[in-house]
Every structure is written in C-alpha cells, then in structure tokens.
Amino acid sequence: MKGTRVLVVGDVMLDEFLWGRVARISPEAPVPVVEITSQTFHLGGAANVAFNVRSLGGAAVVAGVIGDDAAGRRLREALVDGGVEDALAVAGEGRPTTHKTRIIAHHQQVVRADREEAGAIGATLEDAIGEALRRSAKGAGAIILSDYQKGVVTRRLMGKVLASARAADIPLFVDPKVRHFALYRGASVVTPNQMEAEQATGVRIRDIAGLHEAGHKILKTLRCRAALITRGEQGMALFEQDKKPVEIATAAQQVFDVTGAGDTVIATLALALAAGAALPEAAMLANYAAGVVVGKIGTATVSPEEVLAAIPA
C-alpha cells in the first residue's frame, strides 16, 4: 500500500477536542462543570479519511470546501502537517468551515457543539471541486467519496465524481448517507453501517437472512460491484455481485470511541484494493484497522504496524 495514491472528495471538517475533568455540578443548571486541561485539533470527515490513507502509507489528496475563516486555515495547516495534498475550494462569505467541538472528561464525551452550514453548495464550488477532481484523479488508484451530508455531495457534483472515476478507470468507494443513496448508483463499492443499510433498503436486519436480503438489495439498487455493511461489535459483511457473502467477525478488543471508525474502514478498504488486494482481503484489513482505531479516544488513525500487530499470527 505504500505510496499508492488515493483521491478523497467530500465534506471536510475540523474536529476540536477540549479535554478536562469533572469535579462538581453547576449551580446554574444540573450539568457537569468541566475544568479544561488541554485542547487538540484533528482532521475530520473527508479530511480524516485522507489522513487515514496517509497514515497507512498511501499518498492522499483531499477535495472539498472550507470557509474563509480561522477553522479553515487551521484545517489546511493540519493537512500540511499530516502530509495530505490540499485540493480544497474556499467558500464565499456566509459559509463557514464545518467545525465540531467535543468536550471530553474522564474518557467520556460530555457534549458536542457544531458550527456549520449544511445547505447544498452552488455551481461555482461544484465546478471548482470538479476541476480539482479532474486534475487529481490522474495517477490515483481509487477515489473515495466521504458523504457527511454537509452540502458538498450534490447530484451535479456526483456526476463529476463518477465521470472522473470512469475517465481514470479507477474504482469509486462511497461512505454513504441514506438521503443521498440514489445518487451513488454506478459507484464501485459502498460501505453503509447496519442502520444505514436498514434505512436504505427497508429491511430489518435481525438475523443472517435479513442481512443477506439487505446486502443483495443494495447491490441491485445501486448496481455496484460490492457493498460492505459494517455492524459494530458484530463485525462486517461483504457482498459482491455473483459471489457468496463473506461475514467477518469483529477484531476490536476494546471499544473506547467509535468516532471516525467508518473513515478508517473506507480508507483501508480503498487503499488495499488500489494496491492490488482482492476485496475480501481488503475488507479483512479494514476490519483489523477499525478494531485498532475504536480502542483510541477521539478522531484517530492507524499505522501499518498497528494493523499488522492486530492480525493473529
């Protein structure tokens, strides 16, 4: 996977963490008072997917939208620090960088505050991202669409993403949102979690029969090559056209925080496939990578050494 180039497009975010401890309850309201001891910033959303690609040894470029603000400048600095190539477009006045602030005390999230404008981006930004896609897809082994439903994924932009994947003859991986499911038709691989698979198909997954019905329905609806349904502590299930489903048991030993686990899954899956792995192999690697990252607190990434260490001898 080392050096394999992956293009990531979608909703980029800045994740801020305020770390502290709770010593008392507020006299103003029945809420804890968190004494802040430190503050950290991390790449979030599509930017975290790209950082996961980079952390695994791949070369990553990210396309999306930021605001002309302090959060956007900090996000760009973090991309430079993380070795991720920046192909971001800057929005005009009124559209801020998506910025999530989480307060953590005693290893538990107390509250989250979001600053964002989730309305659909306009034609100018769609065209800017489309041009970045056209340039950056050359030499890439895969494209990842990271949809966090913050306005970047529109019908028109999806057309540009699909066209870029076809022109470069590379697979398109999608981390989906249910509201946009119909837009993903023609993608190579989609990675819904179990709840998203249920909502998108109308199938309740309560047993293996329900799981298989939902997986095959996704393949038929989206006409995609494969669907990887992530199921938390129940592992994953890979569905490919004209092949038997592959069920993968979870590799997680401890679960502290699932923040960003989906980013790790799709980054590992796409990077491994672009580097020459078969889909079942890529899915198993993604499962081990996710098992490592949920054992960390906050938006996290995983290294090749950590993935190798997680694989039983």
Catalytic site residue from 69, 147, 175, 263: 263
pLDDT given at position 298: 61
10-residue mean pLDDT series, the chain (313 residues): 96 96 95 96 95 96 97 97 96 94 92 96 97 93 97 97 96 96 96 96 96 97 96 91 92 56 93 96 93 75 90 83
- Which of 103, 57, 102, 74 is closest to 14 using CA atoms? 74
Q: Which residues pair with 237 in a beta bridge?
A: 229, 247
pLDDT given at position 255: 52
Phi, psi of 109 (to 5 degrees): -75, 125
Domain residue ranges in the chain: 5-12+46-97+117-310
The Cα 27–Cα 192 span in angstroms is: 43
pLDDT given at position 257: 44
Active site residue 169: no
pLDDT given at position 213: 97
**187 Cβ contact list (under 8 Å, min separation 6):** 145, 162, 172, 173, 174, 222, 224
**CATH class given for the domain over 5-12+46-97+117-310:** alpha beta
